[in-house]
Structure 1
Amino acid sequence: MSAVSKDSLYKIGKMSFDGKEVDWYDVVASSYTIDDGYIYYFNNGYTPDGGSYSFNFENSGLYKMKLDGSGKELMYNDFELESDTKNQLYFYDLKDMKVYGDYLYFANYSSKGENKVCRIKKDGSDFETVSKNSAYSLSFDTENNKLYYIGRGDNTGLAKRKCYEILLDTFDETELFEIGINEPDVYYYNNYLYLNYADTALAADISSVSSVMIGERYDTVNKKLELLYGHYNKQEIKDGIFTTIKYDGPYLEWKSE
């Protein structure tokens, strides 16, 4: 969990399962992940300043610490910025941090990183860029040592989103398919890539019996896209002079594109 007040913004907290005990770590962490007894986090330089706030680039960097908050260690801070304006520092970040194998992976949103997928060993060594394109969501096929990510062919925000596959043994990269919606996250599971459709609601079309496309997945073995359609069955139940509308469902079905 993370705090939301100005004095504790970006701080990591831990809470007991019954909700009675809450402890805050004395660190700034604008993004983080947990693996094997360690918290890996990025400090974007946020500094509380009374009722306001500021950013101190000298404090920013990639850190790790033990789950109890001890052993804090700076792993890497050579990210560079073109300017030290407040807005750029605010958005200067590492996105979708994940640990896989001996490496911590993330989308590097600093000026130097150009939004590309980067990785660094968990001991803080061997920082390197992995992807050819910008990214904001990534997932792993651990059985076949592959990384999948969604991004754009540039970092302007204008190019269409696409899904890419990277062979982590060689860094060979392949474009798989173009994304038809705005900013979905990608999740790999059992030979499929699933895309979330957060702003598509089946309930919005509840009055229609026709199918509504509400999801998407990619078959990584057969190299084909499948769409998830859903619908409700509408029934009119008459009771004397009154008519009640009843909807059964939703009923879901995957269909090949």
Structure 2
Amino acid sequence: MSGLLDGRVVIVTGAARGIGQAYAKALSEAGATVVAADILDCAQTLGLLGGRGLGVKVDITDMASCTAMAEATQKAHGRIDGIINNAAMFGPSAVTEGARMLPFDEITEDAWQRMMNINVTGTWHACKAVVPAMRAQGYGKIVNISSNTIQLGNPNLLHYVVSKGAVATMTRCLARELGPAGIRVNTLVPGFIQSQASLDIMRENHAEAITGAMKSICSLGREQYADDLVGTAVYLQSALSDFVSGQMISVDGGACFTGM
């Protein structure tokens, strides 16, 4: 994929570790200048990029912080060609306790609102922040990250599943609204990734058996890793997908089948 993204500037939110870090590395290897944005420090990610790129502190729940992220990107690189809205609440992190697996009627108001504020409102904020630059260029690529839990209807994670469903519908609305401006908006839909966040939430909720269950429904018969997602992410940020917008693209090894 070397050279596929030459000259492009792409923001990755939630890039300090895990899946976001994998996106950032793959985009950089394909030639993009990557802006690694996170509420956590992105020094490790920038190290993996060979010092090429920019690290930005961002709290996606704060619109002013997202605007500052976009402004820092334009100041440093003069443009914003794409964004991968990867930052989300799932497993425990340095700044949130993560999602607890509970029956829907035991989820607290605070836990519900925190999930929506990060996963839904945060994605909306990040889109709002980058669209002015993309409109001015007449071109842009927004990739929102959902989850195949919205197709499986996983129990005991209603707040997370609902938030990821909202992200997918947000994509479709934005694709219609922003298409005339030359901005493509798509949803990448991962399966159950063997990330630290996933492993932590399974362990903390005594639900380790879910890992085996997810493997058993995967048509390819194995666990999924972050690197399984990066080819599709690069494609969606490249000219190869210039006539693709408003789509939910599942990358889950054939765990879920959609459409006809």
- Common fold: TM-score over 0.5: no
- Greater fraction of residues in helix: 2
Query: When you count strand as a share of all residues, which structure comes out higher?
Result: 1
Asked which structure has the greater CA Rg, the reply is 1
**Higher RCO by CA contacts (8 Å cutoff, separation 6 or greater):** 2
TM superposition score normalised by structure 1 = 0.26
